[in-house]
Structure 1
């Protein structure tokens, strides 16, 4: 049978409270009593539950993380960034998804009520922002990893530069002489879609080449939508020499449809995505894209939370890490060997 705190207390002839105080370094204790308790702990080989000790100290040394799903292609990069920081500081991670909708949220809420973690990192599942804001207002430290450009002032957040990232993509296409882009947008309800469209369109307009409304097609961030958009554009007779897809998956679908039509990439149509997921460097040809600093965003969010645990106030302004453009062969750049 495992040795318990009651066994230690009985052998040392003290109360369980006294043993707990010795373990946690709390309260005034007679030096000889403390020494006796430590000797019994050593003799019996008692190992306290790390969770019990953490709760006694008011800290679990566990961080919760709520994400929509693990199937999103870039989630792993954000998770790895957060985990790298947490493990270095000897924190654990308790991961929650919303794969089962309300049932998932009920399980998550039960863990919040049980105080199973010290603070929360969030990639917002749709429709949960008000709930997360309420938890934060009630005292749960929360940092939002803001992938959709919602920037809620009531919740500390870490995000990136969707507008300027899209401008960089447009600038690159203009520099290589592409004047008639086709845009495959993301879901209109996301702030990042609006910012990416505005940034790209602004660069083209300022260069004297405004984008016709019919050249902006709706999408949903999937491979299928990218292929469908290109197929529809070709059927409608739209003229385009380049494609800006609002994420890498829809860019992959667009590339397939372009190649299936007999056109060449990049000679006939240059293609640019957004995100720089690992797949982007391994498409044929490798995909030029806007690099979202996904791992860095996870790292920054985790550091912000851990700094708060050590006494620093949570920031009242978003932390913004710039996006950068990565040129590859889909726009004519020399192919690079990437790991």
Structure 2
């Protein structure tokens, strides 16, 4: 028969004390007289009792586990963010408890139960849609939270974000420099701050150069491949002239590329194409995609470092950490042909 594991109750019975007293000895609480503590430690040695790290940490008021809440793991760049956080968390000797919102309200109910049960010491979050107020309440209630802010919400809690407006401006300056004057812009959802920032930075550069973006060529999308296809098809069907496309993420840029190819428009000859994110797929389209790179892995790393620094005594503040976007030029953009 397999050995029956020794429990804290076995130690308490052999030593003639309560389980609470054994727990206090294990955790060095100091409320136990030395003679009793010595007897408990002797029994622990005799029985070979090994307390679980989790039990000890819980008794000390922390778990050395970090929670991470994300909308879904199938988003193209999500793995990069999570990996960045994991690299830091594991290096610092913490565990990671990952939650997704794939099942909507039921997922959030399960997550809330884990919060109530104090299953983790702090939370990293890529905001699932509609949860920002809830996360802000958790933070206000004392749970350490760092938001990885991909939507430009400017939350009233610690956050790590990127330069969406500057990224839009980078795309615009590049297209202007290669002689593209009539861009089709495929945005994300209008309600997102990142959409407004990317469009604002892009439009400002064109307006300052005397070539304001045609409002008819600004099409609201939803960050999907299909919205890129639809936006290009709609512009072509409407007889709108454009010599460039700026898509607010690489997935919709890939859809735009497919629609342009299907319509017989060459990329980059007829139409230059710029995306946003620099997901791994962007380097493998045909032609490879010029894009604005978001430092997604670094955002995950930075958020995890802020949270762990807080556990080590550094106060969390609502001042965001901002990481810069950069332009990655590939084969989908070349100078416009001259006549």
TM range, smaller chain? over 0.9
Q: What whole-Å deviation, never above 9, does each CA across 1:292-314 have from its counterpart, x for those lacking one?
A: 11111111111111111122111
- Per the alignment, residue 84 of structure 2 pairs with 81
Q: CA deviation at 1:23?
A: 2.1
Secondary structure at the counterpart of residue 308 of structure 2:
helix
Report whether the alignment pairs 1:113 with 2:116.
yes
Mapped to 1, the partners of 2:7 and 2:25 lie a distance apart of 15
- Per the alignment, residue 161 of structure 1 pairs with 163
Report whether the alignment pairs 1:46 with 2:42.
no
Mapped to 2, the partners of 1:331 and 1:44 lie a distance apart of 72
Go from structure 1 to structure 2 and tell me whether the alpha carbon gap of 1:175 and 1:9 turns closer, same or farther (over 3 Å shift): same
Q: CA deviation at 1:150?
A: 0.4
- Per the alignment, residue 281 of structure 1 pairs with 283
Which moved further from structure 2: 241-250 or 37-46?
37-46
Aligned with 2:186 (options 177, 184, 187): 184
Q: What whole-Å deviation, never above 9, does each CA across 1:149-194 have from its counterpart, x for those lacking one?
A: 0012x21111000000110111111111111111111111111000
Mapped to 1, the partners of 2:276 and 2:100 lie a distance apart of 24
- Per the alignment, residue 209 of structure 2 pairs with 207
Q: CA deviation at 1:33?
A: 5.4
Mapped to 1, the partners of 2:48 and 2:91 lie a distance apart of 28
- Per the alignment, residue 141 of structure 2 pairs with 138
Report whether the alignment pairs 1:97 with 2:100.
yes
Q: CA deviation at 1:88?
A: 0.8
Aligned residues: 332
**Any unmatched runs of 5+ in structure 2?**
none
Mapped to 2, the partners of 1:42 and 1:268 lie a distance apart of 79
**Any unmatched runs of 5+ in structure 1?**
334-339
Mapped to 1, the partners of 2:286 and 2:22 lie a distance apart of 65
Which moved further from structure 2: 322-331 or 23-32?
23-32
TM-score by length of 1: 0.93
Report whether the alignment pairs 1:148 with 2:151.
yes
- Per the alignment, residue 258 of structure 1 pairs with 260
Mapped to 2, the partners of 1:228 and 1:71 lie a distance apart of 22
Q: CA deviation at 1:327?
A: 0.7
- Per the alignment, residue 294 of structure 2 pairs with 292
- Per the alignment, residue 22 of structure 1 pairs with 25
Secondary structure at the counterpart of residue 331 of structure 1:
coil
Secondary structure at the counterpart of residue 313 of structure 1:
coil
Mapped to 2, the partners of 1:193 and 1:102 lie a distance apart of 26
Q: CA deviation at 1:49?
A: 2.1
Mapped to 1, the partners of 2:250 and 2:19 lie a distance apart of 58
Mapped to 2, the partners of 1:331 and 1:39 lie a distance apart of 74
- Per the alignment, residue 318 of structure 2 pairs with 316
Mapped to 2, the partners of 1:149 and 1:38 lie a distance apart of 54
Mapped to 2, the partners of 1:82 and 1:195 lie a distance apart of 26
- Per the alignment, residue 7 of structure 1 pairs with 10
